[in-house]
């Protein structure tokens, strides 16, 4: 195990996104001596409002840029001790409509980062993967040693990046650690995702679109718990290993929907059943004994974290209103049009 000292300099990719921004805030609060460089392309899902409260922190630097920009990455990587790689195209629905950009960002971008990090003798490279690389499971839970069976372009691209990172450990003995977390939720999550979408729709008096019969099952983890797990693995994880990070809170989509409806005192007439997603995975589930044996476990219960999340969206209309109003939609359309031509 490679232990880290003080005065670490961390490059966070995709740090203006949902999980990345929560991670940056956690690290700056916990380690006053650490310096963070946040590299983000600011696509529609990257939002500097996510980090408005820490943008003047002298230990924080923001750089707008693309992980596929080799010259930029090589420049930024000099003097970096740790890379925490969140940057990725992530939405399954968009990957079904146009998968090319997912391959470019998730695989090619990861390769460019790994090459530059290896060249500059980075002490640790934390690759953020996802439980979706395993595919679906009807009974039991996936262990880190189970085969990967991604079933949509997004999860396939993430699986490719996941194994590419692992290959750098096997081939070059490069210090990679891989995390695969279950579905994250919490503050600053883009309202295209199910929980903030449903919450903000209900705040606007609109119905919530539920795929199929709503029987698909997901395990949910509060974003703060996931960020704390990543920090824990930076300090305690074994190089070359994969770690599942789950909240241990499996719930069907229909029951999740009812929970949100009940919080806002709405009945089931607010559910709009829509055509099911292509290749929709029925259930995800992670066996997280490996990280728990090291001493980590979630701090927040699902119920308290969900309540806190829904209250956050209720109290922070300033943040999500501009996103849903169309300010970001124009960028989204222009951004993806370039990759479809």
pLDDT higher for 338 or 67?
67
Percent of the chain exceeding pLDDT 90 equals: 78
Q: Domain extents for the chain?
A: 9-187+220-251+279-304
pLDDT (tens digit, 9 = 90+) per residue, 250-307?
999 999 999 999 999 999 999 999 887 676 778 889 999 999 999 999 999 999 999 9
Residues 6+ apart with CB under 8 A from 91: 45, 154, 192, 193
pLDDT category, 97, cuts 50, 70, 90?
low
In this structure, of 28-42, 73-87, 107-121, 266-280, the range with the lowest mean pLDDT score is 266-280
Active site residues: 131-132, 154
pLDDT of 335 over the 50 cut: no
pLDDT higher for 124 or 324?
124
pLDDT category, 340, cuts 50, 70, 90?
very low
For residue 121, the tally of other CB atoms under 10 A from its CB is 11
pLDDT of 332 over the 70 cut: no
pLDDT of 125 over the 80 cut: yes
Bin 212: left if φ > 0, else alpha if -120 < ψ < 50, else beta: left
Bin 7: left if φ > 0, else alpha if -120 < ψ < 50, else beta: left
Three-state SS annotation for the chain: CCCCCCCCEEEEECCCCHHHHHHHHHHHHHCCCCEEEEEECCCCCCCHHHHHHHCCCCCEEEEECCCCCHHHHHHHCCCCCEEEECCCCCCHHHHHHCCHHHHHHHHHHHHHHHHHHHHCCCCEEEEEEEHHHHCCCCCCCECCCCCCCCCCHHHHHHHHHHHHHHHHHHHHCCCEEEEEECEEECCCCCCCCHHHHHHHHHHCCCCEEEECCCCCEEEEEEHHHHHHHHHHHHHHCCCCCEEEECCCCEEEHHHHHHHHHHHCCCCHHHEEEECCCCCCCCECCECCHHHHHHCCCCCCCHHHHHHHHHHHHHHCHHHHHHHHCCCCHHHHHHHHHHHHC
pLDDT of 2 over the 60 cut: no
Enter the CATH code of domain 9-187+220-251+279-304: 3.40.50.720
pLDDT category, 7, cuts 50, 70, 90?
confident
Average pLDDT score over the chain: 91
What pLDDT score does 17 carry? 96
Phi, psi of 130 (to 5 degrees): -155, 155
């Amino acid at each position: 195990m490679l232990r880290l000292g003080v005065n670490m300099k961390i490059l966070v990719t995709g740090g203006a996104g949902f999980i990345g921004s929560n991670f940056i805030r956690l690290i700056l609060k916990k380690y006053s001596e650490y310096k963070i460089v946040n590299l983000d392309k600011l696509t529609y899902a990257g939002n500097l409002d996510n980090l408005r409260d820490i943008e003047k922190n002298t230990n924080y630097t923001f750089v707008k840029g693309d992980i596929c920009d080799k010259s930029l990455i090589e420049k930024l990587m000099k003097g970096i001790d740790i890379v925490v790689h969140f940057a990725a195209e992530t939405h399954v629905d968009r990957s079904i409509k146009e998968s090319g950009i997912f391959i470019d960002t998730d695989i090619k971008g990861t390769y460019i980062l790994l090459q530059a990090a290896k060249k500059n003798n980075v002490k640790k490279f934390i690759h953020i993967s996802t439980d979706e690389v395993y595919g679906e499971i009807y009974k039991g839970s996936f262990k880190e040693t189970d085969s990967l069976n991604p079933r949509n372009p997004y999860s396939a691209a993430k699986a490719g990046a996941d194994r590419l990172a692992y290959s750098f450990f096997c081939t070059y003995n490069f210090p990679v650690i891989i995390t695969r977390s279950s579905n994250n939720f919490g503050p600053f999550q883009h309202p295209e995702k199910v929980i903030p979408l449903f919450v903000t729709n209900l705040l606007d008096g609109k119905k919530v679109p539920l795929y199929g019969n709503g029987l698909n099952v997901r395990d949910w983890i509060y974003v703060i718990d996931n960020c704390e797990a990543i920090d824990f693995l930076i300090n305690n994880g074994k190089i070359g290993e994969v770690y599942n990070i789950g909240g241990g809170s499996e719930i069907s989509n229909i029951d999740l929907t009812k929970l949100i409806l009940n919080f806002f005192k709405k009945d089931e007439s607010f559910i709009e059943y829509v055509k099911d997603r292509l290749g929709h995975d029925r259930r995800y589930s992670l066996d997280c004994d490996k990280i728990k044996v090291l001493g980590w476990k979630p701090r927040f219960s699902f119920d308290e974290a969900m309540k806190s999340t829904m209250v956050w969206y209720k109290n922070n209309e300033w943040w999500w209103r501009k996103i849903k109003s169309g300010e970001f939609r124009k960028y989204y359309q222009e951004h993806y049009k370039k990759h479809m031509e």
